A and B are shown apart, each in its own frame.
Chain A
Amino acid sequence: MNREDFPMMKSGYIYLDNGATTWKPQVVIDKINDYYTKFTANAHRGDYDISLKVDNEYENARDIVKEFINAKTRQEIVFTSGTTDSLNLIVEGFFKDNIEALDEIIIAESEHASNVLPWFRLAKSCGAVVKFCPLDENHYVTLSNLKKVITPRTKVISLAMITNVIGDLRPIKEICEYAHQHNIFVVVDGAQSVAHIKTDVQDLDCDFLAFSGHKMCGPTGIGVLYGKYELLDDIEPKNLGGGMNESFDNIDEVYLKPLPTRLEAGTPNIAGAIGLGAAIEYLQTIGMDKITAYEQELRRYLIRKLEEIPHIKIINIESDSGIVAFNVDGIFAQDVAVYLNKYKVCVRAGNHCAKILKNEVGVKNSVRVSIYFYNTTQELDKLVELLKDKNKILNEML
């Protein structure tokens, strides 16, 4: 769908690494260009026309995000540099003050490094415990499995809505309902989900949500931290500086601004934020439901074709996203990726930053195809064609 909107299409690449980042439509590029060519000024300094325009555009982007994920108020939307930045801010800014020795943090082995390492550090520093939710036979997280590891000491459950290797959609709404009945916070890593499925934070009732702009047609270096107002208001700003203080006369009289500005010290990523706003508006013109349905269709198509190839072992036959992870029997994942690159097909090989997932699925490395709405069945046909002949791969992979 909508291939003509993407200048990168002219490059001739078949881009199947959308889990890593996505291509950008012209409208997003134009928006960023406009900021740098037509109204460059700083935000929050509205003494002259173009500065006022920047201010309006920047805050408008916040409103767009708010509507997009259905937050209750615009104060609940904080711009960060990306999912990693958001998750670190949640852990260091909120949970550091709300978790103590022997408290329990629950994650899963299929989490991305950015939803593992900040928790490891926090647990180590305060003597808390990181526990892993056991996965079911499809490597999924289920509420019943979660219940097995929840104890009265459980303080927080932090999970990706969709994981970046298995691609399973977690039952976050049910998890939140159960967790809140037991006074447990729920943090959602939306890096792989917000771009692909409709996200409604009020319906999910999650406490925090983190996601990145560049995985959803937006620019790099911009992301979002959503938090319920009363929780976000409790976050200790990581950075202090310009833009976020109300006044300071001496060391004892420092007054900070309200949310969300308090958490956005310094000149923000203005081009990034308004670029993200444009990306969201673009996705909305297509329709998130339509995007989800189309990606599912493509995924089923690819699975059907790959299943016909005997030397291909698919790791996640069942999955709710556009992610397909597989291996070619006897050929190292990276060699497969290098071979495909010779035909301008971009896929990712590796452990995909989910380094402890290997304990679970027994496979350390894999080739990952991640689909977006601008991919086509013709592109997948080309991929399948290239994978059909194992000797061809062996002959050409060097």
Chain B
Amino acid sequence: MLDANLRKEIIMEHYLNPLNRQTIEDKNYIKVNTNSETCIDNIDLYVLFDKDTIKDIYFNGEACAISTSATSIMIKLLKGKTIKEAKELIDEYYKMIKGEEHNEELLEEACCYEDIYKQENRIGCATIPWRGLMKALDEYENRK
């Protein structure tokens, strides 16, 4: 498990300086909106697939520290991964969110939310981008 200070550092770094934050007009990207019923986070994801690979992802929107950082971290982790790998990462991430055993090596920086299951009001925030990703995957697979 990552040290508590390191976890916080990762989150704050990705919150204050999120990567890949940009609105994309290119129609080849699948755009999905992801938000939560209980909080006010509102994020758009732009995902570009190339055959079985996630070639590129961007995001934009207004959201709290947890969901903004979780989005930035997720995108960093997923760029260039195959859809199969992405699905495996989704599984591992959700195991972690529930406080279960998970593969730390695969999740890399995303392990900074290892403790989030203790904060009920933040679980929704940490899963927002991942729910968006699943929507985009569905949409891509339905198009095929």
Q: How far is the CA of A334 from the CA of B65 in the complex (A)?
A: 9
| B12 vs chain A, min Cβ distance (A) | 7
Whether a CB of chain B sits under 8 angstroms from the CB of A349 is: yes
Residues on B with C-beta less than 8 A from A350 are 39-40
| Inter-chain contact A398/B39, CB cutoff 8 Å | no
| Inter-chain contact A335/B62, CB cutoff 8 Å | no
Task: Determine which residue in A332, A333, A349, A364 has the highest number of CB atoms from chain B within 10 A of its CB, and name it.
Answer: A332
Query: DSSP class of A's interface residues: helix, strand, loop or mixed?
Result: mixed
| Inter-chain contact B65/A365, CB cutoff 8 Å | no
| B34 vs chain A, min Cβ distance (A) | 15
Whether a CB of chain A sits under 8 angstroms from the CB of B121 is: yes
Residues on A with C-beta less than 8 A from B8 are 398
Whether a CB of chain A sits under 8 angstroms from the CB of B43 is: no
Q: How far is the CA of A341 from the CA of B121 in the complex (A)?
A: 11
Q: How far is the CA of A252 from the CA of B65 in the complex (A)?
A: 63
8 A Cβ contacts from B34-76 to A: 39-41, 62-66, 68
B63: which of A332, A351, A398 is its contact (CB, 8 Å)? Answer: A332
Whether a CB of chain B sits under 8 angstroms from the CB of A394 is: yes
Whether a CB of chain A sits under 8 angstroms from the CB of B131 is: no
| Inter-chain contact B12/A334, CB cutoff 8 Å | no
| B73 vs chain A, min Cβ distance (A) | 14
| Inter-chain contact A365/B62, CB cutoff 8 Å | yes
Q: How many residues of A contact B (CB 8 A)?
A: 14
A334-B39, A334-B41 known; A394 and B62 CB under 8 Å?
no
Q: A337-356 vs B: 1/0 string, CB under 8 Å?
A: 01001000000011100000
Whether a CB of chain A sits under 8 angstroms from the CB of B96 is: no
Whether a CB of chain A sits under 8 angstroms from the CB of B11 is: yes
| A210 vs chain B, min Cβ distance (A) | 25
| Inter-chain contact B122/A338, CB cutoff 8 Å | yes
| Inter-chain contact A338/B121, CB cutoff 8 Å | yes
Q: How many residues of B contact A (CB 8 A)?
A: 14
Residues on A with C-beta less than 8 A from B122 are 338
| Inter-chain contact A398/B40, CB cutoff 8 Å | no
Whether a CB of chain B sits under 8 angstroms from the CB of A397 is: yes
A338-B121, A338-B122 known; A397 and B40 CB under 8 Å?
no
Residues on B with C-beta less than 8 A from A334 are 39-41, 64
8 A Cβ contacts from A366-398 to B: 394, 397-398
A364: which of B12, B39, B62 is its contact (CB, 8 Å)? Answer: B62
| Inter-chain contact A335/B64, CB cutoff 8 Å | yes
Q: How far is the CA of A142 from the CA of B11 in the complex (A)?
A: 46
| B95 vs chain A, min Cβ distance (A) | 21
| Inter-chain contact B40/A351, CB cutoff 8 Å | yes
B66: which of A351, A365, A394, A398 is its contact (CB, 8 Å)? Answer: A398
8 A Cβ contacts from A303-361 to B: 332-335, 338, 341, 349-351
Q: How far is the CA of A96 from the CA of B41 in the complex (A)?
A: 35
Give 18 CB contacts A-B under 8 Å. A333-B40, A334-B39, A334-B41, A338-B121, A338-B122, A341-B121, A349-B39, A349-B40, A350-B39, A350-B40, A351-B40, A364-B40, A364-B62, A365-B40, A394-B12, A398-B8, A398-B65, A398-B66
Q: Which 10 A-B pairs have the closest CB atoms?
A: A334-B64, A350-B40, A332-B64, A335-B65, A335-B64, A365-B40, A334-B39, A398-B8, A334-B40, A398-B11
- Other A-B contacts than A349-B40, A365-B40, 6 sampled, CB-CB below 8 A, are A332-B62, A334-B40, A335-B64, A350-B39, A350-B40, A364-B40
